[in-house]
Chain A
């Protein structure tokens, strides 16, 4: 046990240090290389007329921070999800949450064309909640519906359904282009006020997640055991769900659908620090942040001067890892 504790601290320290390095690289490199001194000046003596300073302040820094933030949120919600469903393959990206967001944004663009950015983020969150509740609700209704395979199928199928509905509406109201713009110009078009908007949600979600981490360890052993330990399983599950929806919802709202972060990082973390969710949740958040930060860097260097969508980069790592998980964990059974 002691050794796990040491490991947790070591890895957290390492992750934080690497994160700083990632931010520095991410700020200095890009389509236009910027010198170290210029970057420092942009922070200390900001000059509005200087193009480089503008790039740093309004584009590079928000982007670097955004990538870290979203990576952390996705990985933490993946960890909670896997603990709660006791399903090693659960991940927020296949649970209908992002498709729910697309649906809500479509409705909003079709019927409330003048909505502000803030309102859109709110609708996107509501849509994510709807998607998550839909998939979970149906999996509860079906006997045997919460097995990993069934969950994955239901998530995919409901995702297609919501996606189809939104595409139908979008093409009827002729807003498809706006919607694809809303989702595709995300991470690299992230602006400082988006980050400001996201931070309270992110903080709320993460704090809730950290509170849930303790009961999660018991819950991951089985609902009966958790109930025998005197826990209110229903309450814990609903609060966990709430935290997942807030965290994933806000990251979908500001960065679009990014798959696989929430799936693979919790596994790596569990491998590093053992089964205690009090360590898994925070450390997966840190590692997730680091991972997405690097993916963002790679997305800039893979096909210069164009940027590869970050989802492609995460899939590059995620798909092989997912296949490996299925191969080793047996996939079909949750135990």
Chain B
């Protein structure tokens, strides 16, 4: 009975996320410097009586951006849930752990090595950027493991500290590389690094989509393992789970998702940190439910953040990453305050 009510709650929440996401998509499509009516949008999408200016606005500017926002948000939300699950630490977040910074460094390095050709952008460069990011993300995770391991198990406190150290180290590396670039690439790299998606295009969608389509279902299938991992390490081993192997698999998938997201949108922090907290309040602790809900919440967060960044200070645009951190930090501090008080 309890199980049934949990399941129905899950579907309800997921439906809620979907409706919110659709609402965000609707307002992002219609509002902006060039206002379109709903009828115009429907007409353009269904190719009834197409007009070239509407086509341009919808297909070349707004739609790719919205799709990227949705995909990145979804990916980061799921990745955050997995990281918090693996490390058993509610403060774990790809940004705080330095994975964003590492993937960012790797991508900047890639831009630097292929200097000049980046502007021309063959489809290959969009497909290979996530690969490079992946390598960088891995370097970070490997270092995290090296330094945060204590008597064979991951110490949550150390993990965070090592992550902060790695973040600033990779940040410095990125700065060093980006200063060696030529001015055009440098400009592109800084805009991209601050977590913005204004330059979104369909090639980027193509670059990120396969990663998410493959990895998120894989993670979802492992939800049961993630549930068990919340127990104490020795009990997990006792239950017959090969913790280390499973953890490594999950990490590989998770870093893959993060790197794909970073390679298109730069570092958008706090989505991976906050989405799981909200999701846990809504649907409880089971990862079977948490993973998709986190994806949904992340999607709504990034869509909304991007919309606000575009509208609030128009005609100037704010990168999504900044909007989310300005809104997210106070919420996060409040969460910490509540959680600690409840415990005390």
Please list the residues of chain A having a beta carbon within 8 angstroms of any beta carbon in chain B: 89, 94, 138, 141-145, 147-149, 152-154, 156-158, 160-161, 163-165, 167-168, 171-172, 174, 259-260, 303, 306, 308-309, 311-312, 315-316, 318-319, 322-323, 326-327, 330-333
Contacts and interface: CB of A to CB of B under 8 A. Distances in A.
Nearest to B172: A315
Given A164-B325, A322-B165, 13 more contacts: A143-B341, A157-B333, A160-B270, A161-B330, A163-B325, A171-B316, A171-B317, A259-B168, A319-B172, A323-B147, A323-B166, A330-B158, A332-B161
Nearest to B165: A322
Most chain B beta-carbon contacts within 10 A, residue among A163, A311, A322: A322
A332 B156 contact: yes
Contacts of A309: 175-176, 179
Given A152-B160, A332-B156, A308 B179 contact: yes
B269 A333 contact: no
B162 interface: yes
A94 B319 CA distance: 24
A49 B257 CA distance: 61
Contacts of A153: 91, 96, 160, 164
A331 B341 CA distance: 24
A326 B228 CA distance: 29
Contacts of B160: 149, 152-153
Contacts of B161: 89, 148-149, 152, 326, 331-332
Contacts of B171: 315
Range of interface residues on B (Cβ < 8 Å): 35 or more
Contacts of B340: 142-145
A161 B316 contact: no
B194 interface: yes
B180 interface: yes
Interface string B307-328: 0000001001111011101100
By Cβ-Cβ distance, the 9 closest A-B pairs, closest first, are: A332-B157, A315-B172, A319-B169, A161-B329, A331-B158, A164-B325, A149-B157, A164-B326, A322-B165
Contacts of A174: 316
A315 B168 contact: yes
A168 B322 contact: yes
B326 A326 contact: no
Given A94-B164, A168-B313, A315-B172, A160 B157 contact: no
Q: Tell me the dominant secondary structure on chain A's binding face.
A: helix
B155 interface: yes
B168 A168 contact: no
B332 interface: yes
Contacts of A322: 165
B329 A308 contact: no
Contacts of A141: 337
A309 B337 CA distance: 38
A148 B143 CA distance: 20
13 contacts: A141-B337, A158-B329, A161-B329, A164-B325, A165-B326, A167-B318, A171-B313, A171-B316, A306-B179, A322-B165, A326-B161, A326-B162, A330-B158
B337 to A, nearest CB: 6
Interface in B135-162: 143, 147-148, 150, 155-158, 160-162
A168 B324 CA distance: 11
Given A143-B340, A319-B172, A152 B322 contact: no
Contacts of B282: none
B34 to A, nearest CB: 21
